[in-house]
Each structure stands twice: as structure tokens, then as C-alpha cells.
Amino acid sequence: MTRKPVTLREIAQRLGVHESTVSRALSQRTRHLVAGDVAERIAATARELGYRPNAMAASLRTRRSHTVGVVIPDITNPIFPPIIRGIEDTLYAEGLTAILVNTGDDPAREVQILANLHARQVEGLILGTARETPGESTGDGDPDIPVVLVNRSGSGGNLSWVVNDDASGIRQAIDHLSGLGHRQIGLLSGPLDVSTGRTRRAAFEDAMREAGLDAGAVQDCAAYAITEGRRACDALLDTRPELTALVTANDLLALGAYEALEARGLSCPGDVSVTGFNDMPLVGRLSPPLTTIHVALYEMGAQAAAILLERISDPAAPARRITLPCTLEVRGSTATPRSG
């Protein structure tokens, strides 16, 4: 025979306290409103009786789901786990749970995912998928659900976001390479339908022109992927074999460049220096270790979640847009250019 679920009333009766006190003590968000010793006794009794909160019943009663949708384009991209960890830690401290979904960088799939999250009555959305024409991908279709973008910015609406200083990062890479003596520098650009790709390409062109260098050695990539990095590196070197350095808009593109250079019998950094962007986990252990732009991935996620919590508490709050600083991490993939 199946045992009936333990209720808050049973716990309250066992301890001789009010049911609302039990409810507050067992909620992450309101536990601080209950005296410490009382909250501990309530928690111990709940464990003893085998109490399990009924999230569905609670959401019907309070009209709150205590969930947030977190939508990312590519779960295999190593930059996202630290961002997600920052989001989850911040939400958990306030009693909210993240529902993580991966779009596979497919816009049609993303539209369906967002519809499902809306149907689940999430209290907000954190999106790492914004494109140049946001539409549904920025949550514009439902003004009642607050949206915060992470890692990418968007256009239009009362949108908030947390991004890196992409332009500064690219300029730091150019300054580093030109300081080593490189004059023939190419770019493996990210997708131009996302803010990171557009901003990093524009920064490359500006920094190269300001340094008096040719800014035309650019190869766009359709995605932030190793295969695209290899394809783009091959295409660029086919037309510009004189290049002695490559700036890549993402560490995965840099890994693709490593593969392309090795296949051509070229060494890094002996023949071609390479820089990345994001300082994703373990790139310091590559051969050679990757010189890249370090960004505060965990902090990015934590700040995005903090902004969303503000918007949930006050839907009329103005948009907040944060740009986090980034720094160059010099490692073994860059050196002075080859002679001649």
C-alpha cells in the first residue's frame, strides 16, 4: 500500500508550531525568517517523516514555478559549463532552479524550446543564443517573462545582458602580436549573425588599421567549431600564405587552426603564431599552450542570474547592460615571426 505524502500540517502538528512557520523554514528563500533552532528542528522532523515538497502544488498555490530557463546554443562548447555554474549557484541561493536546454544552434529548435519553457511557466529566461535578428530568441514574444542575455548582446526591447569586452580583447591580441614584430596578421572570425562575431571582427579591422597594417586577411566562420576553424584556416592560408600570425575569435577556432597548420607541415608558433579567445578550460595544456583572451565566465553567469532575479522582483526595473573586462594570457602559441 502506497503511503500518503507527508504534509506541512503534519510536521507543524508534531512540533506544535504554525504551518506557515514550517513552510518558511523549509524554503531556501524564507528560512532566514525563522529562528535558527526552530528551523533546524523543523528540518530534522521533515527528514525523519520523509517529507518531500510538492513543487507542482506549490506553484499552483503561489503562482510561482521557482524555475528559470537557461538556453545555450552548444552544450559541447567548453565555455558554457562555467557560465552555467555561475547561473545555478546564484539562483540556488535564492531558491530557484535552472532548467537547462541546448538548441544545437538551430533557430527552429530554439523557437520550440522557448515555447515549451513558456508553457512550463518559468519565471525568467537567460539566453546565450541571441542573434542579429532576435525575434523569439530574445524572448520578445512574451513581455511578461523577464529575459537576460549572457555572452551575447541583442537588439531592441528592454533587454539586459552581461557580455565580455570583446573589442578590448581583440585589441590586446593585436597589440601583443604586433609588439612581437608580426605585420602579416589574419583573422578567423566568428559567425556574423551573433554579437561576438561582429564585434570581434570590427575590432580586428580597427586595430589593424590603427597599427598601419593590412586588415583584409579575414575568413568568416559559420560556427564556433573546430571543423570551421580548420576549414577557415586552410582557406585563408591558401590565399594569404605570407601570414605569420592568426587571431581567432574563439578557442575552438584556434584548435581548428592548430589542426590545419599541422596538416600543412607548419609549426606553431615557429611558422604561424595563434591567439584564441575565451580561455576555455584546458587550453593551457595544449601543445603549444594557447595564448588567449581570458574572460570571467563564472562571473558572467552569476551576474546574468543576479540581474534576472532583480527583474523578477521588479518587472519595471530598467535594463542593465554589463561589460566585463578581459585580459590577455600569454602562453606558448605566440612568438616572434619567422625570419624572411
Tens digit of each residue's pLDDT (9 = 90 or more) over 21-43: 887 888 766 777 888 888 888 88
Q: Which residue has the cell 577556432?
A: 253
Helix, strand counts (H, E) of the chain: 11, 12
Within a domain: residue 259? yes
Domain that holds residue 13: 8-53
**Burial class (CB within 10 angstroms; exposed 0-12, middle 13-18, buried 19+) of 305:** buried
Per-residue model confidence (pLDDT) at position 139: 46
Cα gap 69→66, rounded to integer Å: 10
**178 and 155 assigned to the same domain:** no
pLDDT digits (tens, 9 = 90+) for 283-338: 999 999 999 999 999 999 999 999 999 999 888 888 999 999 999 999 999 999 98
Residue 218 pLDDT > 50: yes
Per-residue model confidence (pLDDT) at position 197: 95
Within a domain: residue 59? no
Rounded to the nearest 5 degrees, what angle is found at the Cα of 246, between the Cα atoms of 269 and 191?
145
Per-residue model confidence (pLDDT) at position 137: 47
Length, in residues, of the chain: 340
Within a domain: residue 336? no
Residue 48 pLDDT > 90: no
Within a domain: residue 144? yes
Q: How many C-beta neighbours within 10 Å does residue 340 have?
A: 3
Mean pLDDT of the chain: 89
Within a domain: residue 320? yes
Phi and psi of 201, rounded to 5°? -65, -45
**19 and 73 assigned to the same domain:** no
Task: Calculate mean pLDDT across residues 92-111.
Answer: 92
Beta bridge pairs of residue 136: none
Cα gap 98→122, rounded to integer Å: 9
Q: Is the model more confident about 107 or about 53?
A: 107
**156 and 302 assigned to the same domain:** yes
**Burial class (CB within 10 angstroms; exposed 0-12, middle 13-18, buried 19+) of 102:** buried
Within a domain: residue 309? yes
**100 and 70 assigned to the same domain:** yes
Per-residue model confidence (pLDDT) at position 1: 45
Count how many Cα atoms sit within 13 Å of the Cα of residue 84 in the half-sphere of its side chain: 19
Within a domain: residue 2? no
CATH number at residue 74: 3.40.50.2300
pLDDT digits (tens, 9 = 90+) for 245-271: 999 999 999 999 999 999 999 999 999
Single-letter amino acid code for the residue at 142: D
Contacts of 77 (CB under 8 A, 6+ apart): 224, 252, 280
Domain count, the chain: 3
Within a domain: residue 138? yes
Q: Which residue has the cell 507527508?
A: 6
Least reliable range by pLDDT among 22-31, 118-127, 158-167: 22-31
Cα gap 170→240, rounded to integer Å: 21
**180 and 271 assigned to the same domain:** yes
Per-residue model confidence (pLDDT) at position 259: 98
With bands split at pLDDT 50, 70 and 90, how would you rate the model's confidence at 63?
low
Closest CA to 274 of 188, 164, 169: 188
CA dist 285 to 236, 290, 321, 333, Å? 26, 8, 34, 11
Residue 141 pLDDT > 80: no
User: Pseudo-torsion of CA 111, 117, 121, 123, nearest 10°?
Assistant: -100
**144 and 48 assigned to the same domain:** no
